[in-house]
Structure 1
Amino acid sequence: MQVGQTVVQAVSRVVDGADALTSQICRDGLAYWQGLRGDAPLPWREAIDPAAIRSLLPYTFLVDVVDRGRDFRYRLVGTDIVAHTPHDNTGLLLSEIDAQGTQSQLSALYAAVTADPSPRFQRIAYRTRLGLRSWYETVVCPMSAPDSTGTVTTLVGWAEHFHQPIGSADE
């Protein structure tokens, strides 16, 4: 989301099945995470194989949990996500990003996944300066480190953006 855009709706929920997701990218990301997890409570961050999710990489983000969920650092932000934000947030703490407009919703989402380690999805609808009604869907999944005793240390997620001209027949 760019500066000057207005959030008009935000929804965040636990994923109770892939059919709750609109985005095929988010569905594929969730299926990948579920495959990594197997029977374990949480998959390890090191289990991610970029070659296995090559088509999802532009829509993928990795977030380090900082200070047990008091903040979050973007480790990786896919190119499609970067194209829809004012800056490449890779390496930044969520608390350092002030031009995005959705920090409070993202902070709440990331904190919820960290506190109750289950996948959650979020949809945020907004209106742009360019006359588009836009929204994005994201799914965020918890991961741990081998030595973390099941504590959420990393979040992996996928996001897809959608745009529609305001005043179109589908409005």
Structure 2
Amino acid sequence: MDIGANGFRDPRLDWLYGYWLQKRGDRRAASRGDLAPSEIKSVLPILNLIDVRREPLGFRHRLVGTEIVERLGRDATGCWVGSALYGPAWQDIFDGLRTVMEEVRPYRRLTRLDWHARHWLSMESLELPLVDDEGEVNMIVRAASYFTDPQSATRERCIVSPLVA
């Protein structure tokens, strides 16, 4: 499989990262208002928009794209990140989102879905902070691509790496 300019397997993740960088400009992050649905139509099926609640800290799935719903066999729209949704992997997922929020920087995640009924799948995602008018992260946009390959079963469960922004 070809790897894109930013190291992603799925060219849609490369495209979205470039789009976010363009919309961000010289700020730390783009805002939700910077993202125009008409401009990101091609990636809407793989987008997951996550609300950030500060007190107490929590993350809620506001929107889950149709391709994500199809691949996972469920729609998490409206659900909070927690053990009911992600089983034993919930804390790692929660901590990853907290890192995106606290560091206000994009991350790439490559993980096996060993917490899910479809445990043979691997996921590559791009997690991007979105800021409010005060510069605080109030949303995270995640784009996710699912795949299987010979390494899926033996791959380290989760690799998270910050992107140079």
**TM-score over 0.5 (shorter chain):** yes
Contact 2:127 2:141 in 1 (8 A): yes
1:152 paired with 2:137, answer yes
| Cα displacement (A) at 1:66 | 1.0
Please give the alpha-carbon distance, in whole angstroms, between the structure 2 residues aligned to 1:65 and 1:158.
16
Quick one: percent identity of the two aligned structures?
A: 26
Larger Cα-atom Rg: 1
Structure 2 equivalent of residue 35 of structure 1: 22
Please give the alpha-carbon distance, in whole angstroms, between the structure 2 residues aligned to 1:62 and 1:28.
17
Unaligned runs of 5+ in 1: 1-16, 167-171
Contact 1:134 1:161 in 2 (8 A): yes
Structure 1 equivalent of residue 6 of structure 2: 19
Structural RMSD (CA):
2.6
| Cα displacement (A) at 1:99 | 5.2
Structure 2-normalised TM-score? 0.77
1:57 paired with 2:41, answer no
Which residues in structure 2 correspond to 1:30-109 (within 5 Å)?
30-67=17-54, 70-95=57-82, 97-98=84-85, 102-109=89-96
Partner-residue secondary structure (3-state), 2:20: helix
Please give the alpha-carbon distance, in whole angstroms, between the structure 2 residues aligned to 1:35 and 1:52.
12
Query: Larger relative contact order (C-alpha < 8 A, sep ≥ 6)?
Result: 1
Residues paired across the two proteins, number: 147
Partner-residue secondary structure (3-state), 2:60: strand
Which residues in structure 2 correspond to 1:128-147 (within 5 Å)?
133-146=120-133
Contact 2:111 2:122 in 1 (8 A): yes
After superposition, the Cα gap between the structure-2 partners of 1:28 and 1:96, relative to the gap in structure 1 and judged at 3 Å, is same
Contact 2:83 2:90 in 1 (8 A): no
After superposition, the Cα gap between the structure-2 partners of 1:112 and 1:68, relative to the gap in structure 1 and judged at 3 Å, is farther
**Deviation readout 1:2-55 (Å, 9 max, x if unpaired):** xxxxxxxxxxxxxxx952322212111111111110112221111111110111
| Cα displacement (A) at 1:97 | 3.6
Unaligned runs of 5+ in 2: 152-165
